[in-house]
Amino acid sequence: MGFFDNIKKFKDRIAEVESTVYSGNQSLLKVYERNAKLEAEIAQRTKELDRANKQMLTLQHIWSMMNSSEPLSSVLNAIVNSLQGELGYVYSFIIKPRIENNDSYIQIVASSREDFAQKFAKHFRCKLSDYKMRYPGLEELRQAVINNTIYQSPNIAKLVHGFIPELEEDNLNAFFNDTNMNSYILIPLVSKNVHFGSLIVFSSRENATDNELNFLGLFAKQIELAITITDLFQAVKEQAITDSMTGLYNRRYFEEFIKKEAVRANRQNQKFTVIGLDLDKLKQINDVYGHNYGDIAIKAVAEVLKNNARSIDVAARMGGEEFNLILPGVDSDGGMIAAERIRKAINSVKLDKIDKISASIGVATYMEHTEDVDELLEITDQAMYESKRSGRNRVTLAKPAYETSWQEIAIEAFVDILKKHRIPIDNNVSNNMMKKLQEMNINNEKLYQVADSIVSIYNPEHQIGNVKQKVDLASLIGKRFDLSKESIDKLKIAILLYDIGNTMLPKDILNKKEPLTDTDKESIKQHPIIAAREILKPITNITDIIPIIEKHHENWNGTGYPNKISGSDIPIESQIILIIDSYFALTENRPYRDAKSPEEAIKIIAQETNKKWSEKLAREFIDIVKSELI
């Protein structure tokens, strides 16, 4: 091979190497470009993933708020703040259309970023709240609301100027630059198929992506769900404290409120008055016109109370035809004026078929008549009942508590029983009970505690609190039978003392699980006599209570004990004790059986009508107990 051939061959090899290097460079360039593309895509996906995570966190935050039973305003404010905090919107708020005196305007029900209001005040030299905002008359927004579709636009000035036409355009542009707002998105909100309002978000970006709009649509659905759930929480809360028939507060709320009101009154040394009201002749209305008309009469009384109560007053339906009204800061003179106004208003109501209705009313004042809440309610009740006994449709002012002494008589009886060891109680227990009684200032709770403790000695299954329930129930039944105040007071004392004879019975009989023998039954039949003659007879100030207790196991049909008397020969107070005792015995555990439910006990009470008790007593008792269970 010649020299030139070698040169050519070498040149070809150089060309071949150059071609290989070029090809390699082309491959490396492609790899580089591909990697750069992948890195850009990864960065984009990471950004999208980060945004998706923030969206998920926002939705989780909404869920936690929705299940917190917070007020709707708190839930909505938390929601719009999460948009600003986690998703980077400049500002967001929820608006709701309102109509007031035929004038329509916009109410902001939730908003984010406090500095928005501050910047607004700086640029316009007034507060945002100084303006009554109108719904923008923009056709595109109206269509978005009608069609429930999302609308976005960079024309913020047109939107805000539509809300508040008085704003100057130059100030608006300076305000937008200061707040970095370049576009807005409006998302209509629907709750229970009705337009609730709109979510509006302001963004620093001029356009929103499809993913962003999809998320905001999902976000709006969560807001709508939050509104629905919060409304349900509120409805459940209101149902728990209100009477479903009248819309007034119920007994539970009233009893909690009056305790708080007493604390406030003591702290501020300020009186408050309770007005107790009982609709007259409801039973007659029900019997003549039907229960539907009785309900109409009850609702009419409730409306009168609503119309005559101040915003700080608390009106409650206590059950059946009884109502109570608390007047904070009002003394007895003011209470009597208010009560008379209510009486006249009720008496002026005219109802279809029924025509006129009336109410018997009692008035008592905290720090005038008593400083004990339970006692206040009791003497209000007594005054109300005195109005009923005196002819109905009138107002009676309560007597001071120191003139109402049934508790004192009961206390003295218990002290005598314990001090003279009339029942077999351990000395330490007896002394502790006497100490409680002697510390009392006619405090019902301690009186009931002692009574509960004595019952528990012979009945370990006794439920603490039942004694007070028995006394309250006896009082309600007594009123149904038009008993005088004195008779009801005797009944209350008898309720506290009637079963004390059981403390003298052998415990093996009381705790027996197998059926009782005839001898056992005869022993038990002696407990009313033991209570009346051996334990209570020596106590001089309760001699008129003894006949009631002695006859409280006599049956209506004459099959009871100890004297087998029947019908009206049995004192009504004794009959009331028997039916109450039977009901509570059924609903408490016994060694030989489990406790019955209230519904089961009521059925048994009904089955014993005209046997153990009269039809009227059974009917009134069942009616009262059912109303207390609702």
Give the CATH number of the domain where residue 467 resides: 1.10.3210.10
**Residue 329 backbone zone (phi > 0: left; psi -120 to 50: alpha; other: beta):** left
Q: Which residues constitute the domain of residue 529?
A: 406-629
pLDDT tens, residue by residue, 498-532:
777 666 555 555 555 666 666 766 666 665 666 66
Examine the fold and report which residue of 335, 369, 402 is the final residue of a domain before the chain moves on.
402
Q: What share of the chain is helix, strand, coil (3-state, %, to 5)?
A: 60, 15, 25
Residues 339, 425, single domain; the answer is no
Same domain as 497, residue 466: yes
Write the single-letter amino acid at 241. Answer: I
Spatial distance between the Cα atoms of 223 and 59, rounded to a whole number of angstroms? 10
Instruction: State the total domains in the chain.
Output: 3
Strand partners, 110: 94
**Unique residue bearing structure tokens 């555990």:** 589
- Report DSSP state, residue 327: E
Does 217 lie in the same domain as 262? no
Neighbours of 288 (CB within 10 A): 12
Mean pLDDT of the chain: 79
Domain-embedded: residue 32: no
Task: Note the pLDDT tens digit of each residue in 413-423.
Answer: 777 777 766 77
Give, in order, the Cα–Cα distances in Å from 399 to each of 35, 360, 382, 402: 96, 16, 9, 8
Q: Is residue 171 part of a domain?
A: yes
pLDDT digits (tens, 9 = 90+) for 299-341: 999 999 999 999 899 999 998 899 999 999 999 999 999 999 9
Q: Are residues 396 and 410 in the same domain?
A: no
Residue 54, domain member (yes or no): no
d(CA 81, CA 85): 6
In a domain, 95, yes or no: yes
412 is written with which tokens? 């003295």
204 and 271 within one domain = no
What's the pLDDT tens digit per position in 425-468? 777 777 777 777 666 544 445 677 777 777 666 556 666 668 88
Please tell me whether residues 426 and 393 are part of one structural domain.
no
pLDDT at position 442: 45
295 lies in the same domain as 348: yes
Q: How confident is the model at residue 181 (pLDDT cuts 50, 70, 90)?
A: confident
Say if residue 233 is in the same domain as residue 262: no
Is the pLDDT assigned to residue 560 strictly greater than 60? yes
Q: Is the pLDDT of residue 613 over 80?
A: yes
Domain end, chosen from 402, 417, 433, is at 402
Domain shared by 194 and 265, yes or no: no
Task: Please check the confidence at residue 402 and state whether its pLDDT lies above 60.
Answer: no
Are 267 and 359 within one domain? yes
Please report whether residue 30 resides in a domain. no
Shared domain for 484 and 593, answered yes or no, is yes
Q: 45 in a domain, yes or no?
A: no
* 467-491 mean pLDDT: 87
Q: Dihedrals φ, ψ of 358, to 5°? A: -145, 170
Same domain, 205 and 264: no
CATH of the domain at 117: 3.30.450.40
Last residue of a domain, one of 357, 383, 402: 402
Distance between CA 278 and CA 385 in Å, rounded?
8
By the 8 A CB rule, do 213 and 187 touch?
no
Q: Would you say residue 56 lies in a domain? A: no
User: Any idea which residues carry the catalytic annotation?
Assistant: 321
- Beta bridge partners, 365, equal 273
pLDDT at res. 174: 82
CATH code where residue 301 lies: 3.30.70.270
What is the model's pLDDT at position 204? 84
pLDDT at residue 494 above 90?
A: no
CA dist 253 to 43, 201, 573, 628, Å? 59, 41, 31, 14
Q: In this structure, is residue 27 part of a structural domain?
A: no
Q: CA 605 to CA 624: how far, in whole Å? A: 13
